[in-house]
Amino acid sequence: MIHFTHERYEELVAKIWHHNKLYYLDHAPMISDQEYDVLFKQLEEMEKLHPEWITPESPTVRVNESLSSGFKSVKHQTPMLSLANTYSREEVAEFIKRMHKLTGKEKLFYSCELKMDGIAVSVCYEKGIFKRGVTRGDGKQGDEITVNIKTIESLPLRIYGENIPEFLEVRGEVFMPLKAFYKINQERELLGEDLFANARNASAGSLKLLDAKEVAKRALSIVFYGIADESNLQTNSQSELHHYLNSFGLPTLPEVAKCETLEEIWQFIDQVKALRKTLPFEIDGVVIKLDDLKEQKRLGTTGKNPRYAIAYKFAADDPKAMIKG
Write the DSSP string, 10-77: HHHHHHHHHHHIIIIISS--SS-HHHHHHHHHHHHHHHHH-GGG--TT-TTTTS----SSSPPEEE-S
Q: Which of 3.20.20.80, 1.10.287.610, 3.40.50.300, 1.20.1280.260 would CATH assign to domain 6-53? A: 1.10.287.610
Q: Give the model's pLDDT for residue 231.
A: 67
Averaged over 54-77, what is the pLDDT? Answer: 74
Nearest-angstrom CA–CA distance, 325 and 37:
31
- Annotated active-site residue in 115, 131, 208, 297: 115
Q: Give the model's pLDDT for residue 319.
A: 46
Share of residues in the chain with pLDDT > 70 (%): 92
Please report which confidence band the pLDDT of residue 320 belongs to, taking 50, 70 and 90 as the band edges.
Answer: very low
Q: Which residue has the higher pLDDT, 164 or 95?
A: 95
Please report which confidence band the pLDDT of residue 177 belongs to, taking 50, 70 and 90 as the band edges.
Answer: very high
Annotated catalytic residue 140:
no
pTM above 0.85, yes or no: no
Average pLDDT score over the chain:
88
**How do beta strands 119-126 and 129-135 pair?**
antiparallel
**Is residue 125 classed as helix, strand or coil in its secondary structure?**
strand
Please report which confidence band the pLDDT of residue 146 belongs to, taking 50, 70 and 90 as the band edges.
Answer: very high
Nearest-angstrom CA–CA distance, 324 and 197:
9
**Type of residue numbered 238:** Q
Domain residue ranges in the chain: 6-53, 82-324
Domain at 82-324, CATH class:
alpha beta
| DSSP string over 129-146 | EEEEEEE-TTSSEEEB-H
Phi and psi torsions of 143, nearest 5°: -85, 135
Q: Give the model's pLDDT for residue 56.
A: 74
Q: What is the pLDDT of residues 69-114, one digit of tens each?
A: 678 888 998 889 889 999 999 999 999 999 999 999 999 999 999 9
Nearest Cα to Cα of residue 4 among 58, 38, 50, 39: 50
Lowest mean pLDDT among 46-55, 148-157, 247-256: 46-55
**How do beta strands 110-116 and 256-259 pair?**
antiparallel
Averaged over 189-214, what is the pLDDT? Answer: 91
Please report which confidence band the pLDDT of residue 55 belongs to, taking 50, 70 and 90 as the band edges.
Answer: confident
**What's the chain's length in residues?**
325
